[in-house]
Amino acid sequence: MDMPAGVRPRKGRGAASNDSGRFEAERRVAFDDGWSTADELPVPLTTTLTVDSTRTIIARNDSPDIGFDRSINPYRGCEHGCIYCYARPSHAYLGLSPGLDFESRLFYKPDAAALLAEELRKKGYICRPIAFGSNTDPYQPVERRLGITRGILQVLRDFRHPVTIVSKSALIQRDLDILGEMAKDQLASVTISVTTLDRALARCMEPRAPTPERRLETIAALAGAGIPAGVLSAPMIPALNDNEMEHILERARAAGATSAGYTLLRLPLELKSLFKEWLEEHFPDKAAHVLSLVAQTHGGRLYDSTWSKRMTGTGPYADMLRLRFDRACRKLGFNQRTTQSLDTRLFSPPPQKGDQLPLF
C-alpha cells in the first residue's frame, strides 16, 4: 500500500508525516507539487532545541493504574523517534504535530535542578518516589550535551529522595556513580525498555534509540553497580514483536534484571493515524492483520483509554499475552515491579547557607 502523495519516510526518523495537532484550526495536507521525483528522498530533518520556561518541575497524577503519583520530565518531545510512543499526542498542547515535530522540535528545562530543589524544600512536602521517563526518555541523545537529567539526580541524591527511572538509553551508564550511591540506601531503581531483539526492526521502529544489545548491556552494567534493574518488554505489538516476549525476558534475566513488566500497544488520539501510516509503509502485508488484532483487545476500537484496561487490553489475545508473561516471570524468577521497596524515610533537605544550626 502506497503512502499519501508527498509523504515519504525520512532517514533516522520514526514518523513519516507531520499532520497538525488536534487543537489547530488549520490542517497541513501533504501533496505532490510536481517538483519532486518518485526516487527523490526528503531532505534530512534537523533537530531544534527550545527552552521550556516552566516554573514547576514535578508533575502530579492520580491515575489508579499507575504506580506513582509524581514524575519529572526534563524534556518535551523525544529524539528517539519511536513510532509507537504514547506521548506523541502531548506535543499538540504546544501547537505542534505529534508526528515529525515530536521527534525533531524538542523543549528542555535548563532550570530543572534548581526548581526541583525549591519544590522539595517547601513546607509540608511529603516524600514519595519520583518517576523519570513517564512521558519522554530522560536519557535521549540531547542529554549527553545538556546534562539536565544528571543535574536533577544530583539534587535527589543530596536530598536523599527516592527515584525510579524508565529508559531505553545506554547513556544512563554515565550516571552509575550517582545511582549506585543512591541504591545503597534503597533510593533508586531502573527499568530498561526492550521492545525487540531484532536489530533491523528496532532501527525501523525506534530509529535513534540504542540497539537491543546495548540495552541488555546496560541492564548488566546497572546490576553490576548494585542498582536494582528491571526490564519492560513494551510495547507488545500483535503479529509484529509479540512472539519475542519470552526471549526478551530470558535475555534480560541473564543480564541481571530482577523485575519485569510489559504493556500492550497504546494508540491514543493522533497516534492511531501515525502508526497506521508507518505500518502501511514498512509492513504492508501485515498492516491489516496487526490493526485487527489491536482492535480485538480494545472492544473493536484501536484504543480504549479506560483505566486498568488501556495498558493490557481485554479479550482472548490480551488474556493470552498476560498468561504468557506471568508464566515466563514465574519460570525465570522475576519479582513483580514495585516502588514500595524504595525508602522514603531518609528524605532530608540539606542545609542552605544562612540556615540556623540545630541545637542538638
* Residues 6+ positions from 109 with CB-CB distance below 8 Å: 51, 52, 54, 57, 74, 75, 115, 148
User: Which domains are delineated in the chain?
Assistant: 48-263 (3.20.20.70)
Q: Using alpha carbons only, how large is the chain's radius of gyration in Å?
A: 21
* Residues 6+ positions from 203 with CB-CB distance below 8 Å: 211
* Cβ-contact 248, 191 below 8 angstroms: no
Cell of 168: 531505553
- Residue 63 half-sphere exposure toward CB, CA atoms < 13 A: 17
CA 267 to chain centre: 14
* Cβ-contact 246, 198 below 8 angstroms: no
Crossing angle for the helix pair 112-120 and 148-159, nearest 10 degrees? 20
Residue 22 DSSP symbol: T
Order of strands, sheet of 48-51, starting from the edge strand that comes earlier in the sequence:
48-51, 105-108, 75-76
- For residue 105, the SS3 value is strand
Q: How buried is 179 (Cβ within 10 angstroms: 0-12 exposed, 13-18 middle, 19+ buried)?
A: buried
* Cβ-contact 38, 8 below 8 angstroms: no
Cell of 309: 484496561
E strand spans, the chain: 48-51, 58-60, 70-72, 75-76, 105-108, 130-132, 163-167, 188-193, 229-236, 259-264, 335-336
* Cβ-contact 52, 107 below 8 angstroms: yes
What pLDDT, on a 0 to 100 scale, did the predictor assign at position 278? Answer: 97
Per-residue pLDDT of the chain (360 residues; tens, 9 = 90+): 334 444 567 888 999 899 888 888 766 666 555 655 555 566 778 999 999 999 999 999 988 878 889 999 999 999 999 999 999 999 999 999 999 999 999 999 999 999 999 999 999 999 999 999 889 999 999 999 999 999 999 999 999 999 999 999 999 999 999 999 999 999 999 999 999 999 999 999 999 999 999 999 999 999 999 999 999 999 999 999 999 999 999 999 999 999 999 999 999 999 999 999 999 999 999 999 999 999 999 999 999 988 888 899 999 999 999 999 999 999 999 976 554 589 999 999 999 876 665 555
